Structure 1
Amino acid sequence: MISLVMFLTVLFFLLLGIPVAFVFGTVAIIFALFSPELGLDVFSILPFRIFGIMSNTTLMAVPLFIAMGLVLEKSKMAENLLLSMSALFKNVRGGLAVSVVVVGAMLAASTGIASASVVMMSVIALPLMLKAGYDKSLVSGTIASSGTLGLIIPPSIILIILGDVISVSVGELFLGAILPGLVLVGLYILYILIYSYLKPEVAPAYNNVQNVSLKEIIFSIVPPLLLMAAVLGSIFVGIASPTESAAFGVLGSVLLAKLNKSLDFEMLKYASLETVKLSGMIFMILIGATAFSLVFNELGGTDMVLEFFTQDIADVWAFIAIAMFSIFILGFFIDFIEISFIIVPILVPVMEAFGIDPIWFAVLIALNLQTSFLTPPFGLSLFFLKGAAGDTIKTMQIYKGIIPFILLQLLALGLVIIFPDLVFAFI
C-alpha cells in the first residue's frame, strides 16, 4: 500500500503544477527515507542507471530530431507547402482545411515535434482560414489536431521514448505506426469533407488563392518528401539506426533552409538553444522518473500492479481497456512525457505477463497519448493555438472545435485495437 500512496502523491504534486523532474526525485527520496526497509542506500545504484540513460544510443536520437524540427520550423517550408496545397484544393468545399491536414501530416513526418507543428500551422493557416470565412471552431479543431500528428507519424519523439521504455526496436515501431497514422489522417479528411458538404457555410470553397505554378508546387513539395524518404527510408531498410538517420535529418533540414534562403546565424542560434532546453527537460524528467521507479519497485509497486491484473482481473482485454482508459483520463491533466515515464513502465510487466505484442501495445499508447495534446484543460496544442489566435478565437470555440477530432482519435484507437494488422502491415 505504501507504493500506491507514493504513486498518488506523485499525481497530486503533478496536478499542482510543480516541475515534473523535481516531483519524481523528491517523492522518491522522501519515501525511501521514511521506509524502514529501504533508506537512502537504495540510491546507491542510481548513478549506474543514469549512466545507462546517458549512454543510450537510441535516446541520442531525441535531441537530433528536435534540432531537425526546429530548423524546419524557421525554414518557411510549412508556409510554401500550405500555399501549394491550397492552390491544389482551391475549388473544393473544405479544401483549405484538407490542405492544413495534409501539410500537418507532412510536417509530422519531417519534424516529429507536435509543438513546433501547432505553432507553425497556427501562425500560417489561421489567418488564411479565417479570411476564407471558415467557422472558428472548425479552424481550431483542424489546426490543433493536424499539429499533433507528429506524435504518431514517424519520426515521432514519443515513439522513440516508448521504444526505449518498452524495450522494442524503434525502427519496427516507426513501421508499425505508419498505417495507423495514415488512417487517422484519412479520418480527419473524411470528417472535414462530410461536414463541409452537410454545412457549406462552415467551410466555403476558397478560390482567392494566389496563382502558384506547377513548378512552384513541385519545388515546395518534393524537397520535404525527399527528406522524409531519406530519414525514414534509411531506418526502414536497415542502412542507418534512428540516431544516425536523425543526424542526417539535421543536415537535410539545414540544406532545406539554405534552399529556401532562410538559413542564418540567428536561426541556428535559436534551434541550438531550444534543442538544449527541450532535451534537458526530457532527460531531467527521465532521471527523476528513474529514481521514482527504483523506489517504487523496491516498495513492491510493480508486483502489486502485476498481481492485480494477472490474478484479480486475469483478462487481457480488461487490462487493455483499463490501461487505455487510465492513459486517456491522465492525459487531461498531465503531459505525455510524464505518462510515458511514470505509467508505461508500470504497465510493461503486465503486458509481458499477458503475452501482448509490445509493438502493437506501444502504437496503442502513442495514439492514446496524442489525445493528451488536445484534451482540456491542459492540452498543450490548445495553449499554442490560443496564444497564436489571441482574441480572434475564444477559448470555448477552441474546446468545441477539438471535440470531433478527439472522437476521431479514439475511433482510430478502436480500429487499431480491433484490427491489429494495421500495425503489422509494413513490419
Structure 2
Amino acid sequence: MASDHLEGSHARPSEKPLIESLFLAAGRRVALLAVASLLLIAVLTIANIVMRNTMSISLYGLNEISTLLVALAAAACLPYGLAVSASLEVDLVSHLLNDQGKRLFYFGAAVLGVIFFGVLGFEVWMTADRMAAGHQTTLMTALPVAPFFRIMAGAIGLGAIVMLSRAVSLALRAVRASSSSAVIVAGIAIFTAHMLLALFGVVDSSLYTYLKPDSPVALALLVVFAMWVLIMFMVPVGVAMGLAGLVGASALFGSSAGLGAIGSETTSFIVQDSLSVLPLFLLMGAFASVAGIGADLYRLSNALVGHIRGGLAFASILACAGFGTVTGSSIVTQMTIGRIALREMQDRNYSRELASGTIAAGGTLGQLFPPSSALILYAVMTEQSIGRLFIGALIPAFLAAGLYMSAVAIWLWLRPQDAAVGQRANFGEIANAVKGSWSVLLLIGIVLGGIYFGLFTELEAGAVGAVGAFVIALARGRLSVGNFWQTIGESTITLAMVYSLLFGATMLTFFFGISGVPQAFVDFLGNFELGPIGIVLILIAAYLVLGTFMDGFAMMLITIPIFVPLVHSLGFDPIWWGIMTLICMEAGQISPPFGLNIFVISSLDPNISLRQVYRGCWPFFASTIMKIALLLLFPSLVTWLPSAMQ
C-alpha cells in the first residue's frame, strides 16, 4: 500500500529530537517565505504577458531568472519537508512489526536518507564550484549561476542534517530498548559508513566488486531488485531511486563519474523551464481549495443533474472533474468533494457502495483533467510539451467522466433502489449556482485557452493560474492572513515531497540510460514477436498490477525511463502514451486490494467498510478498462487537438 506522510497515513515514532524541532521552526519560516515569493514571480510574469501583448515589450530575462528562483524556492522547502516526514513510502511490512521493529526499520531508512541527501548536497556544491571556475552565467542577463546552486546545495545539505538528527534519535531509543537492537544499529551504521567511504575512495572497494555482474543489463537488474527491496522496507521512494542510480552508475564507470553525475544531472534537471511550471500549478490548486471552489462546483453540478435518479452521483463526478481541473490532484479532489458528496448521498439513502465507488472513481479525474502535476512530470522526464499534453488530455478526460457516469447509469438500471430521485432545481437556484462558479470556470478557460491559442507559454500559464486562484480566494473573503500562511505551508510540504522524488528519479533515469536497459528491454520483448499492440498491452498490464500497491507518481518515475523509449521505438506518439500512462494510474488508484483512493474513502467515513468500497469501485474500474481499449483503437482521441494547436 502506498503511504504518503502528507495525508498522515503512516505511524512514525512521534518524539522529535531538538535539532528537528529547531528546523520545524526556522525551516518552516524559510520555506514559507520561499513559496510566498513564487506569488511575486507569478505577478511579474503576468505583467510581462500584458506588456508583451499590449506594448510589444518584455521584462528582459525574466523567464530564465524565474526558473532559477522557482528552483531555489522548491529546494528551500526540503529541510522543513523532511523535518515533518514529507516523504512517499510503500508500506507493506509495518503492520507486521512491533514498535521496536518499526524503529529499527526507520533508523535504516533515515541513515540511507542521510547518505543520499548528504552526497547530493555535496556534489551539487562541487558542480557549483565548477560553474564558478568556468564563469558560467545565465544566457540573457549574464548573471553568475554558481551562487544559486550553492544556496540549493546548502538547502539539500540541511535536509541531510535533519535526517541525521532523526537517525541518531532513533538509534538512541533502539539502543536503550534492548541489547540486540544495539547490535543491529551498530551493524547498519558500520555497513553504510563503509559503503559510503568506499564510494568516495577512502577505503578499499574491492569487497563490492565481487557483487558486480559482468553485463551492464545484469547489473541494472540487480540494482532494480535492490531498489525494490529498499522500497518495500519503507525506505522513501526518492531515496531508494537515487541511491540505486548512484550505485549503478558508480559500478559502471567508477565512483568518481557516478558522484559527478549526481551533481551535474540534478543541476541541469531542476532548472528546466517545464519543471518550473509544477510549483505554480500546485500553488494554484492550494488557493483554489481554500477559496471553496469545490463546494461551488458541487452545487452547480447538483443544480444541473441532481433531479434525476442518481443525480448526486452524477453531480459528484462532474464536480470532481471541475475541481480536478484547478487542483491537479486526485487526493485533494477526492477528499474535498468526498466530504461534501458522501454526506449528501447518505442523507438521501444512497447505497454506501454506490456513494463510495463514485467518489473514489471521481477522484481519479483530478490528475487527468489539466493542469495535472502527473502530466507535468511526464513532460519533464520525456522532454515533451506540457501544453500539448494538457490539450491532448482534454478529450480522454471528458471521455473518462462520461464513462464513469455511464457506469452509474447502468448500475441504477440494474439496481434502482440504490439511489433516489432528487428535486429539480428552479431557474433561480441554477442561476445562483452559476454565479458562484463563474470565476473558476473563467480561470480554467483562460489558462487552457491561453496555452491552446499560443497567447502564453506553459510557465506563464502556471503564473496566471496561481495568481488567478489567489485573487478568487481573496475576492471571496476566504483568504485571511492565517489562511494565507496555512495554504503556503501546505504547499511547502507538497513541494518537498515532489522534489525529493524528482532528485531520486533524476539519478535513476541517468543510470537506466547509460546501462542500456531500455534497448535491452526492447530486444527482449522483440524476441516474442508480439507486435507493437501486444507489447503495449503487456506494458498496460504491468501498470495495472503495479498500481494496486504503488503510488502513481512513484510508479511513473520508475517506469518512464524504460517504457517510454520502448513505446517510442514501436512508433507510438509519446503524447498518446503519456495520457495512456495516466489512465493506467487511474485504474490502479481504484483497483483492489491496495488502490490508494479506496483507503482515502475509508478514512473519510469510518462507517463505510473496505469491502463496501471494493464493491463500489469494480464498475468504475471496468469503465477505465473500456477507456483504455478506446484509446488503443482510436489514438486520435488524444492526438487530434494537439495537432491543431497554434
TM-score class, shorter: over 0.9
2:382 pairs with 149, 155, 166, which one?
Answer: 166
CA RMSD of aligned residues (A): 2.1
Contact between 2:512 and 2:562, CA under 8 Å: does it hold in 1? no
1:19 pairs with 236, 241, 255, which one?
Answer: 236
2:479 pairs with 263, 274, 278, which one?
Answer: 263
Per the TM alignment, residue 401 of structure 1 is displaced from its structure 2 partner at its CA by 0.8
Who is 1:368 aligned against?
584
Matched positions, count: 425
Who is 2:226 aligned against?
9
Contact between 1:289 and 1:342, CA under 8 Å: does it hold in 2? yes
Who is 2:187 aligned against?
none
Per the TM alignment, residue 29 of structure 1 is displaced from its structure 2 partner at its CA by 3.8
Structure 1 residues 211 and 340, CA gap change in structure 2 (3 angstroms):
same
Who is 1:292 aligned against?
508
Per the TM alignment, residue 26 of structure 1 is displaced from its structure 2 partner at its CA by 2.5
Who is 1:110 aligned against?
326
Who is 2:639 aligned against?
424
Distance 1:312 1:90 in 2: 52
- What is the identity, as a one-letter code, of the residue corresponding to 2:617? I
2:404 is aligned with 1:184 = no
Per the TM alignment, residue 260 of structure 1 is displaced from its structure 2 partner at its CA by 2.6
Structure 1 residues 37 and 312, CA gap change in structure 2 (3 angstroms):
farther
Structure 1 residues 375 and 9, CA gap change in structure 2 (3 angstroms):
farther
Distance 1:118 1:404 in 2: 18
Distance 1:172 1:208 in 2: 39
Who is 1:276 aligned against?
492
Structure 1 residues 31 and 53, CA gap change in structure 2 (3 angstroms):
closer
Who is 1:321 aligned against?
537
What are the residue-to-residue correspondences of 1:382-401 with 2, within 5 Å? 382-389=598-605, 391-401=606-616
2:628 is aligned with 1:413 = yes
3-state SS of the aligned residue for 1:175? helix
1:137 pairs with 334, 346, 353, which one?
Answer: 353
Structure 1 residues 392 and 163, CA gap change in structure 2 (3 angstroms):
same
Please list the CA deviations of residues 220-277 of structure 1 after superposition, one character each: whole Å capped at 9, or x if unmatched: 2322210110111111111111221111111111122123321112222122122121
Per the TM alignment, residue 5 of structure 1 is displaced from its structure 2 partner at its CA by 2.0
Per the TM alignment, residue 363 of structure 1 is displaced from its structure 2 partner at its CA by 1.2
Per the TM alignment, residue 38 of structure 1 is displaced from its structure 2 partner at its CA by 3.5
What are the residue-to-residue correspondences of 1:97-246 with 2, within 5 Å? 97-207=313-423, 213-246=429-462
Distance 1:269 1:371 in 2: 35
Who is 1:81 aligned against?
297
Distance 1:243 1:317 in 2: 35
Distance 1:376 1:17 in 2: 21
Per the TM alignment, residue 216 of structure 1 is displaced from its structure 2 partner at its CA by 1.0
Contact between 1:331 and 1:369, CA under 8 Å: does it hold in 2? yes
Who is 1:28 aligned against?
245
Per the TM alignment, residue 183 of structure 1 is displaced from its structure 2 partner at its CA by 0.8
Contact between 2:303 and 2:430, CA under 8 Å: does it hold in 1? no
Per the TM alignment, residue 211 of structure 1 is displaced from its structure 2 partner at its CA by 9.8
2:276 is aligned with 1:60 = yes
Distance 1:36 1:75 in 2: 51
Structure 1 residues 37 and 246, CA gap change in structure 2 (3 angstroms):
closer
- What is the identity, as a one-letter code, of the residue corresponding to 1:96? L
3-state SS of the aligned residue for 1:426? helix
Once the two structures are overlaid, the 10-residue window that deviates more, 417-426 or 368-377, is 368-377
Once the two structures are overlaid, the 10-residue window that deviates more, 300-309 or 36-45, is 36-45
Distance 1:236 1:159 in 2: 16
3-state SS of the aligned residue for 2:274? coil
2:561 is aligned with 1:339 = no
3-state SS of the aligned residue for 1:425? helix
Per the TM alignment, residue 209 of structure 1 is displaced from its structure 2 partner at its CA by 8.1
Q: TM-score, normalization: structure 1?
A: 0.94
Please list the CA deviations of residues 144-170 of structure 1 after superposition, one character each: whole Å capped at 9, or x if unmatched: 111110211111111111112222111
Structure 1 residues 181 and 213, CA gap change in structure 2 (3 angstroms):
same
Who is 2:287 aligned against?
71
Once the two structures are overlaid, the 10-residue window that deviates more, 132-141 or 6-15, is 6-15
Distance 1:75 1:101 in 2: 20
3-state SS of the aligned residue for 2:641? coil
Distance 1:73 1:191 in 2: 28
Distance 2:297 2:428 in 1: 11
3-state SS of the aligned residue for 1:59? helix
Contact between 1:42 and 1:295, CA under 8 Å: does it hold in 2? no
Contact between 1:159 and 1:170, CA under 8 Å: does it hold in 2? yes
Distance 1:12 1:407 in 2: 32
Who is 2:68 aligned against?
none
Per the TM alignment, residue 297 of structure 1 is displaced from its structure 2 partner at its CA by 3.6
Distance 1:40 1:22 in 2: 20
Which structure ranks higher in relative contact order (CA pairs < 8 Å, sequence separation ≥ 6)? 1
Distance 1:420 1:36 in 2: 39
Contact between 2:338 and 2:359, CA under 8 Å: does it hold in 1? yes
- What is the identity, as a one-letter code, of the residue corresponding to 2:236? P
Per the TM alignment, residue 46 of structure 1 is displaced from its structure 2 partner at its CA by 2.3
Who is 1:403 aligned against?
618
Per the TM alignment, residue 32 of structure 1 is displaced from its structure 2 partner at its CA by 4.8
| Structure 2 stretches lacking a partner, 5+ long | 1-217
Who is 1:379 aligned against?
595
Contact between 2:288 and 2:327, CA under 8 Å: does it hold in 1? yes
Per the TM alignment, residue 196 of structure 1 is displaced from its structure 2 partner at its CA by 1.8
2:258 is aligned with 1:42 = yes
Per the TM alignment, residue 40 of structure 1 is displaced from its structure 2 partner at its CA by 4.7
Who is 2:176 aligned against?
none
Higher Cα radius of gyration: 2
- What is the identity, as a one-letter code, of the residue corresponding to 1:418? L
Per the TM alignment, residue 394 of structure 1 is displaced from its structure 2 partner at its CA by 0.9
Contact between 1:15 and 1:333, CA under 8 Å: does it hold in 2? no
Contact between 1:171 and 1:242, CA under 8 Å: does it hold in 2? yes
Distance 1:376 1:312 in 2: 30
